[in-house]
Structure 1
């Protein structure tokens, strides 16, 4: 039985006039998403992560511990009522630093994807739309950049520049746009075979009109899914750079550097690695579940 039939049956059972109007595409799309438990859980995780980052000063019980505070009398304390996730080697509250660590991870996501998504999407649409030498130039350059291992590029940039959040964004962004360019190029090439694009061209529409009004709206769903899934990879990649010492500079709390600092005290002080490690897992899980839910909702491949 279809959802329209279900609504009809429900209306008749409750004595309401039957609404036989077809359900909108937007309603059906949201219905598919809301009926996916994993997607809803992912959305809640992502929302909670964002709220933690925004309201970190209000959530963290020791907001001053994100700086140069040192309390050696409280160093390496296990989790208790005062310090929910224990303290680190400098006596700083790990829970407070983990909450603020979400800020660094999400700022990295916004900085990297805020640049790479528009750049990659524009290049991909341009290559797929114009074809010819433009297509060969863009796809050729994209293939060259894809041949460079991202971690090697990031480490090279980190060796040249000092470890800051901005430089970490630069290191990741230099190669991240390539995947978006390849994906949108493939989607645009498929859209170019549609009749409405040819009709717009015959009607005298400009290149910009076709790109922005005909092609881009049909790429939004793919871009949304790809961006959400990429957010998880950016968080992991940023944590990897910080773990290797090429992330933000201490004492700024960063989840990857917190794991690196705590690993030297394993297995006795296990909480110093568990808290930031779980935070990385929590954030990446949320974005992955949300991305999978959006992919099912839009019924696209990314």
Structure 2
């Protein structure tokens, strides 16, 4: 009894406390489940989609513009293809766009932001000045310009979005790393003879991971929406590849009678973006950071 009474409670780790905050956030858990469902649908699309043959240029005019029923839960499009099947495969295109854009924009922005925040003088002025110039360019205008010059396809859509997306991560990481570089333990590392590479990768970068993770998750929603906008305007993925933005553009021609042509892919865009936003907000609360 005395041993139990005299024992001290174990200190909870920061990781456990962060997970505890996340697990007690219903919106974050719902967002995580929504994102996981989108990823699983994209990965196992050939096994889940009810009519995999409708992904390509298949034409069945006898089944065109069928309203939603038990055979076609989201109806069919103008050439008789199952909309639900194309929506499921459309998630693949959206996630590929997210991976392609953020896979380039996040590392480039993070590296430039850390360099500008850690080094003073000319390095900071050059990187910060160039970033501010790029931030002054409207992303949609630049994407439209690149899309008009290059052939509309998935790779060029990634290029159009990535061209300016890195700037947001550079500015965020610059602000965080600038604050970290002023800490006493960074000065102590310098006095101990630590190299710039060691300080950047072992001291500053780990402290930036949380804000980068939150920003990347929130940006995934914006990239999906931005990519759908380009496809809606005819500058993204071209038919017959199933793309959510292109499907909305095709379906709007037959509104309001064939409303299901817009409702299905439109809801899919809403579902994916909402899921990433809820997850990003949950991670922000979990890490207790400002983005």
TM category (shorter chain) comes to over 0.9
Runs ≥4 in structure 1, deviation > 2 angstroms?
Answer: none
Matches within 5 A, 1:96-111: 96-111=85-100
- Of 246, 249, 265 in structure 2, the residue corresponding to residue 257 of structure 1 is 246
User: Where does residue 137 of structure 1 map in the other structure?
Assistant: 126
1:171 aligns with 2:160: yes
- Of 278, 285, 289 in structure 2, the residue corresponding to residue 296 of structure 1 is 285
Deviation at 1:131, TM superposition (A): 1.4
User: Where does residue 185 of structure 2 map in the other structure?
Assistant: 196
User: Where does residue 35 of structure 2 map in the other structure?
Assistant: 46
Q: Number of paired residues? A: 287
- Of 208, 211, 220 in structure 2, the residue corresponding to residue 219 of structure 1 is 208
User: Where does residue 73 of structure 1 map in the other structure?
Assistant: 62
User: Where does residue 138 of structure 2 map in the other structure?
Assistant: 149
Separation in 2, partners of 1:238, 1:110: 12
1:64 aligns with 2:56: no
Deviation at 1:19, TM superposition (A): 7.7
- Tell me, what secondary structure is at the counterpart of 2:167? helix
Separation in 1, partners of 2:146, 2:165: 14
Q: Is the 8 A contact 2:238 2:246 kept in 1?
A: no
C-alpha offsets along residues 31-68 of structure 1, whole Å, 9 cap, x if unaligned?
00000000000000000000000000011011111101
Deviation at 1:195, TM superposition (A): 1.2
Give unpaired runs (5+ residues) of structure 1: 1-11, 13-17
1:239 aligns with 2:228: yes
Q: Is the 8 A contact 2:214 2:281 kept in 1?
A: yes
Separation in 1, partners of 2:110, 2:17: 27
Deviation at 1:196, TM superposition (A): 1.1
TM-score under structure 1 length normalisation = 0.94
Separation in 1, partners of 2:235, 2:89: 19
1:283 aligns with 2:275: no
User: Where does residue 267 of structure 1 map in the other structure?
Assistant: 256
User: Where does residue 174 of structure 2 map in the other structure?
Assistant: 185
User: Where does residue 55 of structure 1 map in the other structure?
Assistant: 44
Pair 163,19 (structure 1): closer, same or farther in 2 beyond 3 Å:
farther
- Tell me, what secondary structure is at the counterpart of 1:264? helix
Separation in 1, partners of 2:172, 2:152: 31
TM-score under structure 2 length normalisation = 0.97
- Tell me, what secondary structure is at the counterpart of 1:245? coil
Deviation at 1:242, TM superposition (A): 0.2
Separation in 1, partners of 2:120, 2:42: 43
Q: Is the 8 A contact 2:64 2:80 kept in 1?
A: yes
Separation in 2, partners of 1:202, 1:24: 30
1:112 aligns with 2:109: no
- Tell me, what secondary structure is at the counterpart of 1:217? helix
Deviation at 1:89, TM superposition (A): 0.1
C-alpha offsets along residues 169-221 of structure 1, whole Å, 9 cap, x if unaligned?
00000000000000000001100111111111111111110000000000000
